[in-house]
Every structure is written in C-alpha cells, then in structure tokens.
C-alpha cells in the first residue's frame, strides 16, 4: 500500500507505534508493581487514571500549538520527552517512580494531535479523499504499539525486572530523530473551513451525541486494557501470559481500526460504528463468564477488533465538525475520549475490588451496547468527501 511506504507518513506512524508501545506496557507494569508496592485494584485504577488524564487533558493545548507552529517539534519532542521520563521511572525506586511514569505521558499528548492531523491530510491528497482509511492506519500503528507493549513488557519484566523496560524506551531515540527530519519542511496548517472533510450539522445535539459515543467506547476499551492483566494475574497466570492476552486485545483493536476505517469510507460512518459496537457486546460478555480458558485466545482479540473499530471514525467526524485547526480538533476529541475513559476506569476499580472482575466486564458489555444505540443518532455522516476547492493550507511535503 503506497501510503505505508511514504516517508512522511511512516515517520509519524512509527512515532505513534513507539509512544503507544510504552503506553501499552503500563497495565503490565502496574500489575508487576502491585506486589512490591502493595497496590490494590483501586490504586491501579487511580494511577492509570492520572496517567491517562495527564496525557489526554493536555492534548488540546498541544493541538493548538501544532496548528500554529507546525508538527515537527511536537511529534519528535514528544517522543524524546516520553523516553527520558519513562527511563527515569525505571531507575527510581519505590512509589516515586509512579510520579515520573505519569509525567512521561505528556510526550504522548504532544505527538497524538500532530500525528492525527498529518494522517488525515495525507488521506485527502494521497488517498483521493479516503481520510478515514488513512486515519485508521495511523491509529493502527498506535494500537499495534499497545499490542506489542504488554507482550514485550511481560517477558522483559520477568527476566530483567524494571531495567528490562529501558530497551523499548531507548528505541524512541532513532524514531524521534527520523520524525524530526521527515517533518522538517512542514508548516502550520490552520484550518478555517474543511471542505475535504465530511460535513455535518454542528448542532449541540450532534456534538453531545458524538461525545457520548466517544466516552462509552473509550471507557469500554480502558476497562479491558487496565483490568484484564490483573484479572489473569489473580487467576495465577504468569507475566508473560497475561502480557500476551492483553496484547491480543490491542492487536485485535489495531486490525479493527483499519477494517472500520475502510468500511466507513465505503458504507457510511454511522452504520459501521453502530453495527461494530453492537457485535462487540458478544465476546465481551463471554469473557466475563468463561474464566481462564483457551477460548480467551479468540474472544479477547475479537472483542478488541469490534470495540476498537470505531476509534478513527469518531476522530474523523470530530475533525469535520469542530471549528478551528485540525490538530486542535484531534486533540479535543482524543482528550475527551482518553480522559473520560480513564474516569470510567476510576469508577470501575472499586467495583472490581468489591464485586470482582467479571462484573466489570459485564458492565463493559453494557457500555458498548448503549454506545451502539446512541451511534444511530449520528445522522448526516454518510456524505461522500468533497475532493476539490479546499481552503486548507496544504503542507508542502504532502
């Protein structure tokens, strides 16, 4: 596929891969630290919430900066920031390391809006208007990072302890240098009117509806990412095993993101998102009742594929309805999704402590069902992209 061999697109995609590889190792790392640091399920939920809130609530700020100063330093600098503070978290003993782990998430916040903007712009020009497909490939790389993160982190923690995670953190350096070089000719892309995007009504009801869908989908995914490793650990599984299963969920999400993006460009965003979310309830519910079983090798990635397929759809819709720069729009919707999902996880933590993980997974089943129903109200997202007369200030590197 030509887009994947484009040097500019691949630089931001690889950056997204590395950032979310470290993000994806968080759940396994916290499960690993729960013993020596005496972390309860509620503690794990609180730390995960602080981590995600820090990364999400600052994304609109970084998006605003990207629209005005360009993506180069936000993308490459975000990678370097995350590498440095993640390494510090591995070196410092005790609960002090948790503080630096949270601070590291600011690097993720810097890269996401810049990368999402560049990916969507690339889809409009290189893919003849198939912007959701292009955005889905960008997010696929991030979810591949979440897939490989726990799979790599589990064995490294088991073999080398905390120092083992210095290896994936160090790989951020060459990726950051490459991103800075490839983005050297990019300029700010301030958007005043997005005729290349799907045009929908900017009513308050539509925005509220989209926000509800984003919140519920993100809450469901955050529940699985945060609690699935601890659930399997409590069932007696090793770090390598619960890292693998957690990775399968994000691997399924990565594939689902690309599938959802391509189907949305062909059949309509609302229809695809609603059907996928409704179908996601089936494997999520089965996960809550089977316990430890070989069936998890099928159910977990299937749940990730179906629930994760709407991520890029929501982002591209938001880019078309939020006035201002595309990076700002990306930062706003991603910030809402991640922060709300983290808040939901904070609510789910005490429930896991008091009622057990199966109840949390059944709650997650209900979340995707409600999201599927709400998605049916996103009318006006079926229009085909307009491929001409854009007022976007085009990036000379595109």
Average pLDDT score over residue span 280-305: 91
Average pLDDT score over residue span 120-124: 75
Maximal C-alpha separation, the chain: 60
Is residue 90 over pLDDT 70?
A: yes
Alpha-carbon span 350 to 360, nearest angstrom: 10
The pLDDT value given to residue 83: 94
Is residue 254 over pLDDT 50?
A: yes
**Angle, vertex CA 169, rays to CA 164 and CA 173, nearest 5:** 140
Measuring CA to CA, which residue among 1, 17, 395 is closest to residue 178?
17
Q: How big is the chain, counted in residues?
A: 398
| Residue 311 is assigned to a structural domain of this protein | yes
The pLDDT value given to residue 323: 64
Q: Mind listing the pLDDT tens digit for each residue in 316-357?
A: 888 777 666 777 878 888 888 878 877 887 788 888 888 889
Enter the tokens of residue 11. 């630089």
The pLDDT value given to residue 105: 92
Is residue 278 over pLDDT 90?
A: yes
Is residue 384 over pLDDT 60?
A: no
204 Cβ contact list (under 8 Å, min separation 6): none
Q: Is 161 helix (H, G, I), strand (E, B) or coil?
A: helix
Is residue 107 over pLDDT 90?
A: yes
Enter the tokens of residue 56. 């999400």
Better-predicted residue by pLDDT, 388 or 52 = 52
| Domain total of the chain | 1
Better-predicted residue by pLDDT, 2 or 283 = 283
Q: Mind listing the pLDDT tens digit for each residue in 198-248?
A: 444 456 788 888 889 999 999 998 888 888 888 888 888 777 787 788 778
Average pLDDT score over residue span 129-143: 79
Q: Is 39 helix (H, G, I), strand (E, B) or coil?
A: coil
Give the single-character DSSP code of 135: H
The pLDDT value given to residue 201: 46
Alpha-carbon span 58 to 332, nearest angstrom: 9
The pLDDT value given to residue 192: 36
Cβ–Cβ < 8 Å for 335, 60: yes
Measuring CA to CA, which residue among 66, 179, 62, 189 is closest to residue 121?
189
Sort 192 into a burial class: Cβ within 10 Å, 0-12 / 13-18 / 19+. exposed
The CA distances from residue 106 to 15, 19, 208, 230, 382, in Å, are 14, 11, 27, 25, 35
Which residue is it, tokens 């109200």? 377
Alpha-carbon span 377 to 395, nearest angstrom: 35
Q: Mind listing the pLDDT tens digit for each residue in 30-46?
A: 888 887 888 887 787 78
- What rounded mean pLDDT belongs to the chain? 81
| Residue 392 is assigned to a structural domain of this protein | no
Is residue 367 over pLDDT 90?
A: yes
| Residue 393 is assigned to a structural domain of this protein | no
Range of the domain at 104: 2-375
Q: Mind listing the pLDDT tens digit for each residue in 280-290?
A: 999 999 998 98
Measuring CA to CA, which residue among 373, 365, 369, 370 is closest to residue 348?
365
How many CA atoms are closer than 13 Å to the CA of 97, on its beta-carbon side? 17
The CA distances from residue 255 to 155, 156, 223, 308, 321, in Å, are 24, 25, 19, 8, 26
The pLDDT value given to residue 2: 67
Q: Mind listing the pLDDT tens digit for each residue in 151-208?
A: 788 889 888 888 888 999 999 999 999 988 888 877 665 543 444 444 444 567 888 8
The answer to which of 27-41, 69-83, 117-131, 204-218 has the lowest mean pLDDT is 117-131
CATH, residue 119:
1.20.1250.20
| Residue 386 is assigned to a structural domain of this protein | no
Cβ–Cβ < 8 Å for 222, 254: no
| Residue 398 is assigned to a structural domain of this protein | no
The pLDDT value given to residue 3: 66
| Residue 382 is assigned to a structural domain of this protein | no
| Residue 186 is assigned to a structural domain of this protein | yes
Alpha-carbon span 1 to 207, nearest angstrom: 34
| Residue 66 is assigned to a structural domain of this protein | yes
Measuring CA to CA, which residue among 253, 242, 214 is closest to residue 157?
242
Q: What percent of the chain is modeled with pLDDT above 90?
A: 23
């Amino acid at each position: 596929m030509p887009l994947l061999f484009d040097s500019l697109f691949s630089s931001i995609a690889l950056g997204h891969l590395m950032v979310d590889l470290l993000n994806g190792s968080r759940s396994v790392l916290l499960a690993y630290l729960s013993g020596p640091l005496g972390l309860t399920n509620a503690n794990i939920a609180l730390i995960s919430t602080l981590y995600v809130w820090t990364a999400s609530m600052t994304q609109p700020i970084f998006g605003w900066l990207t629209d005005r100063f360009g993506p180069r330093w936000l993308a490459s600098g975000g990678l370097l920031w995350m590498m440095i503070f993640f390494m510090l978290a591995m070196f410092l003993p005790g609960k002090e390391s948790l503080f630096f782990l949270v601070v590291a998430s600011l690097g993720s916040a810097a890269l996401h809006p810049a990368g999402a903007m560049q990916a969507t712009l690339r889809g409009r020009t290189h893919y003849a208007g198939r912007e959701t497909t292009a955005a889905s490939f960008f997010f696929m790389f991030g979810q591949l990072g979440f897939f490989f993160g726990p799979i790599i982190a589990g064995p490294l923690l088991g073999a080398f302890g905390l120092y083992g995670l210095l290896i994936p953190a160090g790989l951020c350096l060459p990726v950051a240098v490459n991103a800075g070089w490839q983005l050297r000719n990019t300029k700010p892309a301030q958007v005043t009117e997005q005729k290349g995007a799907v045009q929908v009504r900017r009513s308050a009801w539509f925005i509220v509806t989209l926000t509800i869908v984003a919140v519920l989908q993100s809450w469901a995914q955050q529940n699985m990412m945060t609690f699935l490793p601890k659930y399997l650990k409590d069932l007696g599984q090793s770090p390598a095993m619960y890292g693998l299963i957690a990775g399968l969920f994000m691997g399924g999400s990565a594939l689902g993101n690309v599938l959802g993006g391509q189907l949305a460009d062909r059949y309509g965003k609302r229809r695809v998102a609603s059907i996928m979310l409704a179908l996601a309830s089936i494997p999520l519910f089965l996960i809550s009742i089977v316990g430890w079983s070989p069936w998890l090798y099928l159910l977990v990635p299937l749940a990730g594929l179906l629930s994760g397929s709407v991520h890029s759809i929501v982002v591209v819709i938001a880019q078309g309805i939020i006035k201002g720069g595309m990076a700002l729009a990306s930062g706003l919707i991603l910030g809402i999704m991640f922060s709300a999902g983290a808040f939901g996880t904070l609510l789910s933590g005490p429930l896991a402590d008091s009622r057990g993980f199966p109840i949390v997974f059944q709650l997650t089943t209900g979340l995707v069902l409600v999201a599927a129903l709400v998605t049916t109200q996103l009318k006006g997202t079926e229009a085909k992209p307009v491929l001409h007369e854009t007022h976007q200030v085009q990036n000379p590197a595109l």
